[in-house]
Amino acid sequence: MLHEKSRAQGPSGRLLRFRGQITASSEQPMARRCLLTSLLLVFVTTAPLRAEVAIPPLVYTLGDAVMFKTGGQSIMLGHGSQPTLSPEARQAAWVEHGDDPAQARLMLCDIASGNASILAKPGGNLHSPSFSPDGGNVIFVRRTETGQSELWSVRPGEKPRKLAQAGGLAGDDFFEPVFSLADGRILYHDLESLYSMSLTGQKNNQTPLKNFNQGHTGAFTSTARFIPRPNSTTLAFSMSVEGSPLFRKKVPDLSSALFLYDPQSRSASRLTPHNITAFAPAWTTDGQALVFTGYSDKHAGTARPFRIWMIRPGQPPVDMGPGEDPRPASGP
């Protein structure tokens, strides 16, 4: 039984904290089964990539390599994790040595030239960078050596600044902060509520997470991500769920799925099929499709099953090849 705010390691080795209860007989979390020891290039037969599927420019990771993909070509930009892509796909940012307070830094790369430089190095552990829709700012999470969580922003060429500190009106943590393309709001959660904040650090809104999973058996963890859909009032989110019988046979842990939430009807519908583990969603800039990290039950429990997928609501997901943490451009 997973109890409120118990700890485990997530699919990318990040710390997980669970909210809610769901039955599971896990002695080892899924990430320990998915060791970072090899790059298993597997071919998933569920909805293989079709020639007519348009692939937006993406950044993603392949092992510890940060990759940029446009059309059918991929190039390596550097080494690190959790990349993010600027509007018009001109710059990429990512974290290097994020879990080492002495070395952690945020990198910025000009994609055309391939030149990379340090964007921020404020000390502490660094996580979850995200470009603003206009490309002028990159937000990220900083955790101090005492465990304090802070939300920071940095503009290229300027010193980073702290927007908010966990506790009080800002909530108890800053999990998976992202921008809304519609109005530039920053959305994040703390396992209890979803928050909306401006770039000045002012909290705008707070919604209990229990509003999103009504009617679904699942649990929110620190890796749950809420993504507003461009040109719509709906948003997508990821949530831990009980896996299929085949998944449970291979992996003694929870699976994960993507959902679409409609605030008008206050209802959530599942987007991804039960035979695919799905997390880390991101909308394409036109709001027509989601890209995400996932793998089929067929490859659950293997050393490195992660692949990039794309799904249009109401259609089957499309396999785009090996990789993790895909992010399309952050704006037009």
Report residue 20's pLDDT band, with 50, 70 and 90 as the boundaries: low
Cα–Cα distance between 281 and 272 in angstroms, integer?
Answer: 11
Q: What is the pLDDT of residues 101-156, one digit of tens each?
A: 999 999 999 999 999 999 999 999 999 999 999 999 999 999 998 889 999 999 99
pLDDT at 146 (0 to 100): 87
Q: Torsions phi, psi of 191, nearest 5?
A: 80, -20
More confident residue, 75 or 47: 75
Cα–Cα distance between 12 and 192 in angstroms, integer?
Answer: 22
pLDDT at 54 (0 to 100): 77
> Is 38's pLDDT higher than 90?
no
Least-confidence region, from 14-23, 60-69, 213-222, 299-308: 14-23
List the strands of the sheet with 226-228, edge to edge. Answer: 226-228, 235-241, 255-262, 267-270
pLDDT at 232 (0 to 100): 93
> Is 75's pLDDT higher than 70?
yes
106 forms beta bridges with 95, 120
Q: Which two tokens stand for residue 257?
A: 């799925």
Contact 148, 141 (CB under 8 A): no
Mean pLDDT computed over 62-89: 95
Least-confidence region, from 20-34, 55-69, 167-181, 303-317: 20-34
Give how far Cα 270 sits from Cα of 241, 258, 280, 299, Å.
11, 6, 15, 21
Mean pLDDT computed over 37-56: 46
Report residue 203's pLDDT band, with 50, 70 and 90 as the boundaries: confident
pLDDT at 33 (0 to 100): 34
Q: What is the pLDDT of residues 267-278, one digit of tens each?
A: 999 999 999 999
Mean pLDDT computed over 282-293: 96
Mean pLDDT computed over 273-299: 96
> Is 79's pLDDT higher than 80?
yes
Amino acid found at 52: E
Q: Would you say the C-alpha torsion 7, 168, 134, 54 has a positive or negative sign?
A: positive
Report residue 91's pLDDT band, with 50, 70 and 90 as the boundaries: very high
DSSP 8-state assignment for residue 145 = T
Mean pLDDT computed over 226-245: 95
> Is 37's pLDDT higher than 50?
no
Mean pLDDT computed over 177-193: 94
pTM score of the predicted model:
0.85
- SS3 category, 281: strand
pLDDT at 25 (0 to 100): 37
Cα–Cα distance between 49 and 22 in angstroms, integer?
Answer: 34
Considering only CA atoms, which of 160, 70, 71 is closest in space to residue 108?
A: 160
139 forms beta bridges with 130, 153
pLDDT at 233 (0 to 100): 92
> Is 5's pLDDT higher than 50?
no
pLDDT at 243 (0 to 100): 94
Least-confidence region, from 64-68, 80-84, 197-201: 197-201
pLDDT at 77 (0 to 100): 98
